[in-house]
Amino acid sequence: MSQPNHGLGPLAAGSRAVVVGGGPGGVATAIALKQGARALGRDVHVVVVEGKQFTGHQQYNQCAGVLSPPIVELIEGDLGVPFPHSLGHVMITGYVLHTARSEIVLDGEAEPSIALRRVEFDAYLLEAARERGIDILSARVTGLEFHTDRVVVYTDTDMLEADVVVGAFGLDEGTGVLFERAVGYKPPPALSSVVTKYHPGESGMAQFGDRIHAFLPTSAQIEFGALTPKSNHITINIAGASVDANLMREFLDMPYVRCTLPRLENAGKYNPNDLHFYKGRFPRGLAGHISGDRFVMVGDAAGLVRAFKGKGITSAVLTGIRAANVILRDGIASGAFDAYRAVNNDIIADLPYGQAMRFLTIYAARTGLIDVAVRAAALDPGLRRALFDAVSAHRPYRDVVREGLTSAGVRAVLASIGSRNTPKVKDRNGSG
């Protein structure tokens, strides 16, 4: 098989790209590559290798499926794919933040997020890629060989040769090892998560409403928990350095979680899929060696996400589009991918702020300082907005930290230390 792009310059006509993983990051890269090359008058061959079947209800994706802005603009504007508004979804209108002693409603003015079923979203995007002339190989990548003139990609059904390989395999540990052996890649540090779902019936869903409930328990092991409304059920997840099924049971038993979950309409309607637990992981920092001659990582595999929470799907799509642009404009050499780091500086520079926010939130939740902040936020719109932005992931953490530390916000925190009850905040001890 001869390859026309043996050099390491921008991907030329007739070149081949193999994308390992058909999640949002992989598919966004593939579509942006194919269409971007076409716009430049180059026809490139793009193959996405995906090991899972997204159709036919065989897969469960742990992801809560909340799509944050600007996902619609990225999918429609950058990729030219109509956003799948027809997939059953909930428009998330805001958040309720629960701490051990208080809760506060956080409704921002920002564009709402959209909650939908992740496997249906992935299936839709993969089909959109196929329609745009991208080959979808249903197989698992099992080995990689990097040569000076090409990359050989082994799968469990076929062998492929490529000028460039894109790693879009999420946090798949086995695939991470393949890249580690081949090119010295190091997977990103990650938080663990346990997920389950609950179908309370139609009136239960109506009672629950369209807000995500976020919990910051005092537990040393659960960093946060969330109840997310979907079209016919509530997705429940917890996260921490090492959470497990026992901690999920502990979370479900916490009185404020029990009070927030609607009661089942009647016992006969119990859905057998309810309260089955699934494990997942979130990256919380940058991976090592995410690019080099003939390879680049996108999305979770790169750790190019927010360090604390939220927006993983949007970041995967965004970094996929950015990787494709760099491959077409700058080339596929290690040095060319410096441009990839540079265009992702908004995410990379925000990681220390997200990490600081994470440690501060853990500390505040465990010491009760978070209750003080929540009470203060009831009086201070700036602090309330900072809390909304932190929970919703709508703005960079750097801006959230700066806004949260305005003198008005800090004054409000100090003022609230002596006062337990303030308007808009419900105190669990009864008033509010």
Binding of ligand FAD by 347 (CB under 6 A)? no
Binding of ligand FAD by 22 (CB under 6 A)? yes
CB within 8 A of 304, min separation 6: which ones? Answer: 286, 290, 297, 298, 315, 319, 344, 347, 348
Beta strands, E only, 119-276: 135-138, 141-146, 151-155, 159-162, 164-167, 190-198, 211-215, 224-229, 234-240
Cα Rg, the chain, nearest whole Å? 23
CA 346 vs CA 66, 83, 285, 424: distances in Å = 21, 25, 14, 34
Candidate segments 74-82, 126-134, 215-223, 297-305, binder of ligand FAD by CB under 6 A: 297-305
CA 69 vs CA 4, 25, 187: distances in Å = 39, 16, 26
Binding of ligand FAD by 196 (CB under 6 A)? no
Name which of 7 and 88 has its Cβ closer to ligand FAD. 88
User: Whole-angstrom Cα distance, residue 367 to residue 185?
Assistant: 38
User: Whole-angstrom Cα distance, residue 385 to residue 406?
Assistant: 12
Side chain identity, residue 368:
G
Candidate segments 11-19, 50-58, 328-336, 418-426, binder of ligand FAD by CB under 6 A: 50-58
x/- map, 138-157, ligand FAD, by CB under 6 A: --xx----------------
Q: What are phi and psi of 282, to 5 degrees?
A: -115, 135
Binding of ligand FAD by 340 (CB under 6 A)? no
Binding of ligand FAD by 313 (CB under 6 A)? yes
Binding of ligand FAD by 23 (CB under 6 A)? yes
Binding of ligand FAD by 292 (CB under 6 A)? no
Binding of ligand FAD by 374 (CB under 6 A)? no
Binding of ligand FAD by 175 (CB under 6 A)? yes
Candidate segments 85-93, 103-111, 278-286, 405-413, binder of ligand FAD by CB under 6 A: 278-286
User: Whole-angstrom Cα distance, residue 163 to residue 12?
Assistant: 10
Binding of ligand FAD by 95 (CB under 6 A)? no
CB of 327 to ligand FAD, least distance (A): 17
CA 300 vs CA 82, 111, 290, 377: distances in Å = 24, 24, 11, 33
Name which of 46 and 63 has its Cβ closer to ligand FAD. 63
Binding of ligand FAD by 169 (CB under 6 A)? yes
Binding of ligand FAD by 330 (CB under 6 A)? no
Candidate list 8, 14, 52, 105; residue touching ligand FAD; CB under 6 A: 52
> Is residue 214 within 8 Å of residue 95, measured between CB atoms?
yes
Give the residues lining the site for ligand FAD (CB under 6 A): 20-26, 49-52, 62-66, 68, 140-141, 168-170, 172, 175, 193, 195, 237, 280-282, 299-301, 305, 311-314, 316
